[in-house]
């Protein structure tokens, strides 16, 4: 197998990597780049724990070939907060008790981010749709939805 | 970052910085991949590993013959099977330099099997001549509980209703699949395992390796959910990795794919229940006779305490003078059943709450009125003869009704059915009551005890030492809260020591809704010891009797004179300065229960949790599609340390119960599982949750829990399915008596309901 | 684990040439949402796989446009792009609706319509819609382009009419902006669900209310997605009323049993497809009182 050279931007930093042609983006993020905030829960694109943003859209990184990411911009949960401050979505998750075991949380946060970046004032229904590909076994989603609503308000500069 | 009073573990989680076991890196680590038996029952004749050993990167293959200690306790699942008893059971493990190499080489291991006859239903397993799974026969356990004389009770009845119910095999489905790493150290082994039961897993690893318990450190990283599943499954995986680590002298990582997790891991017991209920014209219950046959699968595991809990709770929270329950679990060549959130309650809660609804319907009574008439109240005697105290069902019902408006919704639902033209959508309402024993109880296993320690440093910072696992529900924060309430300190002073069985005392497992009550009390006792020491000094300094002192906001004072105080920090440093011990070691044991195990009668649990669920559903009569529109879940938690956390637990319980009611079903045929991942094993998504969901917290203190608290984790998932199924019956006119109420079953109910009602 | 090499062609021609050179050993890939699942499950379909040929970045395969009343949808159009396309909202809203019902946002952001068709999944949501739209697939092979009517695309479950060295460029169909359309999907849960069954309907009534065009394609009903011709024949030239709709709905169920036989699932599917088709027709037509 021939390694594939890929140039991409990961959390704002340019990255050049030689990846196995069949490697999943998930593996490259976790193993090659040590970004272990992105989790694997199913490997078949159903649970959403591996959700990252590719050019602003949320995708399951277990169903993306790393080799196909040439020129793409990837954002993981590690890329949205700084050392000093949480992203408003993360703050809202804490404020609304929207996580318990936390394993699905990075994926949920990224799906909410994909939504709010496009739609700053989403309806409740739009939020539910946006997180419908992120399975959570702990929270029952209600506090996640409330957190998303609250984060939207915060990002719009209200309150 | 973050905020005051949030859970102690959530900041690192929301940042993606929490380390789950698969995020831990170890130099020189090897990877395991399990060789699995493709038959439901077989004997391993030989294992030819030569081709696999020749493959790139493969270091070794381990199997039963490599176990230095014992393979398992009798009738329990062995670390590596020599006579595998279910399809997918592990017989060997390939160890290689990379995960890819290990998984590739599994195909190259040639295992020669003698296929043995298999039995895959409990009914077949109990027939004479059935293939035997264990030397003493296929009866895993048999329990009876009850009181009074059911024959006499039925003779007194005006009516007798007999109904049968089936519940399915449910999978835990934490989003984190199981994984472990075993790291060999000098004359000892360190195992990283996300388990709910550190000491139990350590015990199994020690038995496997033949090491004394202080030579194995079981460390728990962040856990991505358990729901009862990360228990003996993790003991098996830890032991496999530890055997390989012993042999290779290198760290060994073993990770389950989701498919492997489903294939080999434990599940909720499926039940077949028969209920015979005697009652009078006015709705008074005269007798309940319950017969349960459960599928224990291939091994014993924790079937005994699951069974006793089911039997004890099988007649629900109702006043019935005569009751008898006869429960049998059979061994089968299915994957083994074990603890899962609810631990034997959801099966009988479903069956009992639906049969009660059916009785009400037979009588033409409003199900609410029927339940109000019959539910237990303070000092009523339970179906197993226990005098029930701190009973809060009446209050829970009232709170539920306040939110749900039962009568109005019931009328509106009825009107929706009257308006129906053709095969449209109609509404229905349903409810279910819940009582659930806390902690292990007297019937199932030995003493329920817990130890928790706390270290108080010179600077006033505190370390809590406990082996109880934070599986995601916030129990470590609960301990912090108990400590704060006892010592009046600020929570930012406190950290919980990561679990390592060589550092922290045995607090018992995170199971059986025991953590708040049993571990919480041990924490309280530990903190009380420190408080007592401080009280002596404070009393002297302030010149007031120690008993009068209040500990609040880091100040210690006589409430009659709050301006005159000493600080917490001062007292800590004074204790240190005086060369005294500022540590606390708390111990708590559930004792004093009088229970007759032979007859299944007496004080089964020291305390109970109570709750009420109400559901409104919309059913599409043309397709069988069910939408849960409104759900009210009321739970009495005694004392809420953090109300929002409690609500999150309730919401989560509703989602798991909703899945149990409508979607979740491990499809297994002739021992083979068909749905091995989230694409075919369906759990509730955000879209499936009720648009209007009210988690309601009642706080009626008990006399047993810390600050009156009751447990919550499991009860939240127990009474959801019967409320939904009863609502479907209200909508369609017909009960679905087998879970899950999927499209096909609901359509069938709708069609026969239409025939009945016209 | 299946191992394979990765090829990123610069053009469709280059992709076709590579496929021609490596018959049976190459797979064109797009969003990979089906492919990587099949690879994980070690689908027998890919046992000889040596190369994946990534089409996702080829600009000539993307875009949705309408020209002279004909809608063109590039093969690499993601389900999300289709879901949010203003062109489709006007000219084929049922295709947007079907794409919006696929999987999850994450799947829709990666999975493409071309990929879904090439995969020939029996439970595909856009597939029956394209059939109801009477769409053609424009296909390129080493010897040039050809069109394949979508009704002929699926030969059997999992098998398309594409030659191994052919690539779908896109789909075209006449705008149905002036017609009524319906897409109904029934799943086991409200999201992240494959179709238990679905119904696609394109219908037009003349000034008198007589149906002068109808295309009715039920999904997960026949062995491969197809139009329900018998029901269409009943409807065409008639003014719909409750009785006619009933007859047409039953005709779909009858045709299902005729074509697939009675199975364990028939007890459920027969009444339910009848009800779904009835609903689609009630929603999609002006019914005479």
Q: Tell me the per-residue pLDDT of B238-273, one tens digit each, with 9 for 90 and over.
A: 999 999 999 999 999 999 999 999 999 999 999 999
Q: Which residues of C touch A (CB under 8 A)?
A: 1-6, 8, 29, 31-33, 36-37, 39-40, 52, 54, 56-57, 80, 103-107, 109-110, 190-192
Whether the CB-CB separation of B295 and B269 falls below 8 Å is answered with: yes
pLDDT score, position B444: 66
Between CA A118 and CA B538 the distance in angstroms is: 60
Backbone angles phi, psi at B596, to 5 degrees: -95, 100
Structure tokens at B4: 């005051």
Token reading at A73: 């911009």
Given an 8 Å threshold on Cβ–Cβ distance, is A129 in contact with C191? Answer: yes
Q: Residue B739's pLDDT band (boundaries 50, 70, 90)? A: very high
For residue range B559-580, list pLDDT tens digits in order. 999 999 999 999 999 999 998 8
Around C228, how many Cα atoms within 13 Å sit in the side-chain half-sphere?
32
Q: Does B700 touch chain A (CB under 8 A)?
A: no
Q: Given CA atoms B103, B108, B109, B115 in this order, what sign does their dihedral have?
A: positive
How does DSSP assign C16-72, residue by residue? HHHHHHSTTTEEEESS-TTHHHHHHTT-GGGTT--EEEE-TT-GGG--EEEETTEEE
Is B687 in Cβ contact with C272 (below 8 Å)? no
For B204-230, how does the pLDDT look when each residue is reduced to its tens digit (9 = 90+)? Answer: 999 999 999 999 999 999 999 999 999
CA C11 to chain centre: 25
Question: Closest partner residue to A64 among C52, C105, C110, by Cβ?
Answer: C110
**Cα B490 from chain centroid (whole Å):** 31
H-only helix segments in chain A: 25-27, 88-95, 105-118, 124-130, 142-155
CB contact under 8 A, A68 and C54: yes
Which residue of A43, A67, A133 is in closest CB contact with C104?
A133
Distance from CA of A97 to the nearest CA of C (A): 24
Strand partners of residue B293? B272, B328
pLDDT of residue C4: 95
B184 Cβ partners below 8 Å, 6+ apart?
A: B190, B245, B246, B249, B250, B251
State the burial class of residue C289 (Cβ atoms within 10 Å of its Cβ: 0-12, 13-18, 19+): exposed
Percentage above 90 pLDDT, chain A = 96
In the predicted structure, residue B333 carries a pLDDT above the cut 70: yes
Please report all neighbours of C, defined by 3+ CB atom pairs within 8 A: A, B
Strand B449-456 and strand B584-589: the pairing is antiparallel
| B686/A128 CB distance under 8 A | yes
For the cut 90, the answer to whether the pLDDT of residue B38 exceeds it is: yes
What CA–CA distance (Å, rounded) separates A129 from A134? Answer: 10
Chain-wide mean pLDDT for chain C? Answer: 95
* Res C35 pLDDT > 90: yes
- Between the CA of residue B197 and those of B218, B481, C35, C54, what are the distances in Å? 10, 22, 39, 47
Contact yes or no for A137 and B173 at CB 8 A? yes
A63 interaction partners in chain B (CB closer than 8 Å) = none
Residue B2 pLDDT level (bands cut at 50, 70, 90): very low
Cβ B6–A99 below 8 Å, yes or no?
no
**A interface test, pick of B26, B101, B175 with most A CB neighbours within 10 Å:** B175
Return the pLDDT at B233.
97
Judged against a pLDDT cut of 70, whether residue B758 lies above it is answered with: no
Q: Answer yes or no: do B623 and C193 touch at CB < 8 A.
A: no
Among C1, C189, C196, beta carbon nearest to B688: C189
- Interchain CB distance below 8 Å, B16 and A136: no
Chain B residues touching C275 at Cβ < 8 A: 423, 622-623
Tell me the C-alpha distance between B244 and B252, whole Å: 7
- What band does B46 get if pLDDT is binned at 50, 70 and 90? very high
The reply to whether residue B747 touches residue C191, judged by beta carbons under 8 angstroms, is no
pLDDT band at B315 (very low <50, low <70, confident <90, very high): very high
Q: How close B19 comes to chain A (CA, Å)?
A: 8
Contact C200, C129 (CB under 8 A): yes
Per-residue pLDDT at C285 exceeds 70: yes
User: Is B652 touching A (CB cutoff 8 A)?
Assistant: yes
Apex B452 CA angle, B447 and B456, nearest 5: 165
Round to whole Å and give the CA distance between B612 and B632. 8
Question: Does any CB of chain B come closer than 8 Å to the CB of residue A106?
Answer: yes
pLDDT score for B3:
52
Mean pLDDT, rounded, for B51-58: 98
CB contact under 8 A, B14 and A43: no
Give B439's pLDDT tier (boundaries 50, 70, 90): confident
DSSP code per residue over B591-642: ----EETTTTEE---S-EEEEEEEEEEEEETTT--EEEEEEEEEEE-SS-S-
Residues of A with a Cβ under 8 Å from any C Cβ are 1-2, 4, 20-22, 24, 43-46, 48, 51, 54, 57-60, 62-65, 67-68, 70, 111, 114, 128-130, 132-135
The residue of chain A nearest to residue B681, with distances taken between CA atoms, is A46
Rounded-to-integer distance, Cα C183 and Cα C131, Å: 12
Q: How many CB atoms lie within 10 A of CB B718?
A: 32
Q: For the purposes of burial, counting CB atoms within 10 Å of the CB of B49, is it exposed (0-12), middle (13-18) or buried (19 or more)?
A: buried
- Segment B639-662, tens digit of pLDDT: 998 999 999 999 999 999 999 999
Among A66, A17, A16, A19, residue whose Cα is nearest residue A38: A66
Rounded to an integer, the average pLDDT of B344-367 is: 98
Confidence check: pLDDT of B428 > 50? yes
Residue A105's pLDDT band (cuts 50, 70, 90)? very high
Which of A62, A63, A132 has its CB closest to that of C105?
A132
Instruction: Please say whether the beta carbons of B219 and B191 come within 8 A.
Output: yes
Find the angle CA(C215)-CA(C221)-CA(C223) to the nearest 5 degrees: 105
Would the pTM of this model clear 0.90, i.e. be above it? yes
Which residue of A60, A106, A108, A135 to mutate against C (max C Cβ within 10 Å)?
A60
User: Is the predicted pLDDT of residue A48 greater than 80, yes or no?
Assistant: yes
A142 and chain B in contact, CB less than 8 A:
yes
* B470-525 pLDDT, tens digit each: 999 899 999 999 999 999 999 999 999 999 999 999 999 888 788 888 999 999 99
Instruction: Tell me whether B471 touches chain A (CB under 8 Å).
Output: yes
CA of C64, closest CA in chain B: separation in Å? 29
Q: What DSSP letter does each residue of B75-127 carry, written as one string? A: TSPPSS-SS--STT-EEEEEEESSHHHHHHHHTT-EEEEEE-----SHHHHTS
* The predicted structure's pLDDT at residue B446: 66
Mean pLDDT of A136-143: 98
Range B318-341 average pLDDT: 97
pLDDT bucket at A150, cuts 50 / 70 / 90: very high
CA atoms of B258 and B725, how far apart (whole Å): 30
- Confidence at residue B711, expressed as pLDDT on a 0 to 100 scale: 87
In sequence order, which residues have a C-beta less than 8 Å from that of residue C200 and are 6 or more positions away?
A: C94, C98, C128, C129, C131, C132, C181, C182, C183, C215, C216, C217, C218, C219
Q: What would the pLDDT profile of C10-32 be if each residue is shown by its tens digit?
A: 999 999 999 999 988 999 999 99
pLDDT at C104: 97
- Cross-chain residue pair A68–C37, CB shorter than 8 Å: no
What's the confidence (pLDDT) of residue B84? Answer: 98
* Residue A31: DSSP 8-state: I
* C-alpha to C-alpha distance for B377 and B752, rounded to whole angstroms: 37
Tokens of C206: 């003349």
Name the residue among B9, B25, B652 with its Cβ closest to that of A140: B652
Kindly determine whether residue B679 and residue A44, on different chains, have CB atoms separated by under 8 Å: yes
Cα angle value C5/C6/C10 (rounded, 5°): 145
Tokens of C250: 């039953």
**Token pair of C111 as six digits:** 């999975």
**Please, which chains are in contact with A (at least 3 CB pairs closer than 8 A)?**
B, C
Q: What's the pLDDT at A108?
A: 98
Please state the rounded mean pLDDT for residues B11-30: 97
**Closest-CA distance of chain A to residue C59, Å:** 14
Calculate the average pLDDT of chain B: 96
Interface of B with C in 615-644 (CB under 8 A): 622-625, 627
Q: Which of residues 145-184 of B touch A (CB under 8 A)?
A: 172-177
**Strand positions, DSSP E, chain C:** 5-7, 26-29, 51-54, 64-67, 70-74, 136-141, 144-149, 154-156, 159-160, 167-174, 180-187, 195-205, 211-219
């Amino acid at each position: 197998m021939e390694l594939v050279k890929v140039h991409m931007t990961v959390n704002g930093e340019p990255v050049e990597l030689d990846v196995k042609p069949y490697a999943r983006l998930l593996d490259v993020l976790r193993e090659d780049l040590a970004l272990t905030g992105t989790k694997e829960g199913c490997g078949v694109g159903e649970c959403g724990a591996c959700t990252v943003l590719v050019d602003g859209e949320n995708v399951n990184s277990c169903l993306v070939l790393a080799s196909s990411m040439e020129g793409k911009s990837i954002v993981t949960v590690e890329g949205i907060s700084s050392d000093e401050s949480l992203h408003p979505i993360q703050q809202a998750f804490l404020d609304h008790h929207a996580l318990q075991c936390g394993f699905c949380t990075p994926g949920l946060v990224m799906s909410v981010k994909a939504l709010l970046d496009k739609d700053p004032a989403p309806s409740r229904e739009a939020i539910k749709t946006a997180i419908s590909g992120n399975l959570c076994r702990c929270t029952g989603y209600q506090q996640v939805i409330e957190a998303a609503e609250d984060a939207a308000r915060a990002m719009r500069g209200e309150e | 970052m973050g905020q005051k009073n949030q859970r102690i573990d959530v900041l690192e989680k929301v940042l993606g910085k929490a380390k789950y076991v698969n995020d831990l890196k170890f130099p020189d680590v090897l990877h395991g991949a399990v060789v699995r038996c493709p038959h439901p029952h077989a004997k391993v004749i030989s294992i030819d590993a030569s081709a696999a050993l020749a493959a790139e990167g493969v270091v070794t293959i381990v199997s039963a013959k490599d176990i230095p200690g014992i393979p398992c306790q009798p009738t329990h699942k062995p670390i590596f099977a020599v006579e595998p008893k279910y399809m997918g059971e592990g017989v060997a493990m390939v160890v290689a330099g990379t995960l890819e190499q290990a998984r590739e080489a599994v195909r190259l291991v040639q295992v020669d099997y003698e296929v043995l006859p298999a039995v895959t239903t409990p009914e077949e397993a109990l027939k004479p001549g059935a293939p035997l799974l264990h030397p003493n026969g296929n009866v895993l356990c048999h329990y009876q509980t009850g009181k009074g004389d059911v024959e006499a009770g039925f003779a007194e009845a005006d009516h007798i209703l007999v109904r049968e119910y089936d519940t399915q095999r449910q999978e835990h489905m934490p989003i984190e699949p199981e994984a472990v790493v075993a790291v060999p150290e000098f004359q000892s082994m360190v195992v990283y395992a996300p388990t709910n039961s550190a000491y139990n897993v350590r015990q199994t690893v020690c038995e496997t390796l033949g090491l004394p318990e202080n030579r194995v450190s079981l460390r728990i990283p962040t856990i991505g959910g358990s729901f009862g599943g990360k228990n003996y499954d993790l003991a098996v995986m830890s032991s496999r990795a530890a055997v390989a680590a012993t042999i290779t002298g290198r760290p060994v990582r073993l990770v389950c794919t989701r498919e492997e997790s489903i294939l080999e891991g434990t599940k909720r017991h499926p039940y077949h229940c028969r209920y015979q209920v005697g009652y009078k014209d006015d709705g008074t219950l005269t007798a309940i006779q319950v017969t349960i046959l459960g599928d224990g699968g291939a091994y014993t595991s924790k079937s005994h305490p699951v069974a006793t809990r089911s039997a004890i709770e099988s007649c629900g929270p109702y006043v019935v003078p005569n009751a008898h329950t006869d429960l049998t679990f059979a061994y089968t060549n299915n994957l083994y059943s074990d603890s899962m959130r609810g631990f034997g309650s959801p099966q009988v809660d479903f069956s009992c709450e639906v049969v009660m609804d059916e009785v009400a319907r037979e009588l033409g009574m409003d199900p609410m009125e029927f339940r109000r008439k019959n539910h237990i109240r303070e000092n009523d005697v339970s179906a197993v003869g226990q005098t029930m105290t701190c009973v809060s069902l009446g209050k829970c019902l009232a709170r539920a009704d306040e939110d749900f408006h039962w009568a109005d919704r019931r009328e509106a639902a009825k009107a929706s059915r009257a308006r129906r033209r053709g095969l449209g959508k109609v509404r229905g309402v349903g409810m279910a009551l819940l009582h659930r024993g806390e902690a292990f109880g007297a019937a199932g296993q030995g003493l329920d005890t817990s130890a928790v320690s706390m270290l108080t440093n010179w600077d006033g910072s505190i370390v809590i030492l406990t082996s109880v696992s934070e599986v995601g529900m916030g129990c470590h924060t609960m301990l912090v809260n108990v400590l704060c309430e006892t010592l009046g300190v600020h929570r930012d002073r406190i950290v919980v020591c990561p679990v390592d069985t060589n550092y922290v005392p045995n607090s018992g497992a995170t199971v059986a809704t025991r953590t708040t009550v049993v571990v919480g009390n041990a924490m309280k006792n530990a903190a009380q010891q420190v408080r007592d020491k401080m009280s002596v000094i404070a009393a002297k300094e302030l010149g007031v009797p120690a008993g009068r002192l209040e500990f609040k906001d880091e100040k210690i004072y006589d409430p009659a004179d709050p301006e005159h105080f000493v600080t917490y920090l001062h007292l800590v440093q004074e204790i240190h300065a005086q060369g005294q011990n500022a540590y606390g070691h708390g111990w708590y044991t559930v004792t004093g229960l009088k229970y007759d195990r032979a007859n299944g009668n007496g004080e089964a649990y020291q305390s109970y949790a109570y709750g009420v669920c109400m559901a409104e559903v919309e059913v599409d009569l043309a397709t069988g599609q069910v939408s849960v529109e409104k759900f009210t879940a009321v739970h009495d938690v005694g004392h809420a340390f953090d109300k929002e956390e409690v609500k999150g637990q309730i919401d989560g319980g509703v989602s798991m119960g909703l899945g149990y009611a409508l979607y979740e079903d491990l499809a297994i045929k002739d021992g083979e599982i068909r749905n091995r991942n989230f694409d075919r094993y369906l759990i509730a998504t955000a879209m499936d949750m009720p648009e209007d969901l009210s988690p309601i917290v009642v706080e009626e203190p008990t006399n047993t829990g810390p600050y009156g608290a009751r447990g919550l984790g499991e009860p939240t998932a127990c009474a959801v399915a019967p409320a939904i199924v009863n609502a479907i019956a209200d909508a369609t006119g017909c009960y679905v008596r087998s879970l899950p109420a999927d499209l096909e079953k609901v359509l069938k109910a709708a069609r026969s309901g239409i025939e009945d009602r016209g | 684990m299946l191992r394979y090499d990765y090829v990123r062609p610069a053009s469709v021609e280059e992709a076709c040439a590579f496929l021609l050179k490596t018959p049976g050993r190459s797979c064109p890939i797009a969003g990979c949402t089906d492919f990587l699942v099949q690879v994980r499950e070690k689908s027998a379909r890919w046992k000889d796989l040596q190369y994946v040929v990534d089409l996702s970045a080829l600009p000539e395969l993307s875009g949705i446009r309408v020209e002279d009343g004909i809608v063109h949808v590039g093969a690499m159009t993601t389900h999300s792009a289709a879901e949010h396309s203003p062109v489709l909202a006007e000219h084929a809203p049922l295709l947007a609706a079907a794409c919006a019902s696929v999987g999850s946002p994450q799947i829709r952001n990666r999975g493409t319509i071309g990929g879904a068709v090439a995969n020939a999944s029996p439970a595909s949501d856009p597939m029956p819609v394209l059939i109801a739209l009477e769409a053609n697939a424009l296909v390129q092979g080493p010897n040039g382009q050809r069109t394949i009517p979508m009704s002929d695309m699926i030969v059997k479950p999992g098998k398309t009419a594409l030659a191994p060295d052919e690539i779908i460029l896109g789909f075209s169909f006449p705008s149905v902006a002036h017609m009524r359309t319906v897409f109904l999907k029934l799943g086991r849960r409200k999201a992240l669900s494959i179709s238990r069954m679905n119904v696609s309907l394109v219908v037009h009534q003349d000034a008198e209310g007589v149906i002068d065009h109808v295309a009715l394609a039920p999904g997960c009903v026949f062995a491969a997605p197809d139009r329900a011709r018998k029901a269409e024949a009943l409807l065409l030239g008639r003014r719909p009323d409750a009785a006619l709709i009933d007859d047409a709905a039953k005709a779909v169920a009858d045709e299902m049993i005729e074509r697939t036989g009675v199975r364990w699932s028939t007890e459920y599917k027969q009444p339910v497809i009848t009800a779904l088709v009835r609903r689609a027709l009630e929603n999609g037509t002006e019914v005479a009182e």
